[in-house]
Amino acid sequence: MGKVTMSFKQGRKALLVKMSAKSDKPAIKKVIPFRNDDVPNYLRELDRFETESKNACLIVR
């Protein structure tokens, strides 16, 4: 029988449960929204740059 593996998200949840159980004080929960769209915007630009970089074909001697 094959080994049953957890998805990443299930593993992350299991880590949260295990670490919460080891906490000696009540954990604090907070909802923290992202502050701005700097990163998604930059990643889109970066994606274009890196895609074009892969297509570059320079000759090295």
* 2 sits near other proteins (criterion: CB under 8 A): no
Residue (4 or 25) nearer to other proteins, CB? 25
CA distances to 14, 20, 38, 50, 61 from 26, in Å: 18, 8, 34, 45, 63
| Cβ atoms 20, 27 nearer than 8 A | yes
Q: How far is the CB of 38 from other proteins (least distance, A)?
A: 3
| Cβ atoms 42, 34 nearer than 8 A | no
* 4 sits near other proteins (criterion: CB under 8 A): no
Instruction: Tell me which residues touch other proteins (CB under 8 A).
Output: 8-9, 11-12, 14-16, 18-25, 27-50, 52-54, 56-61
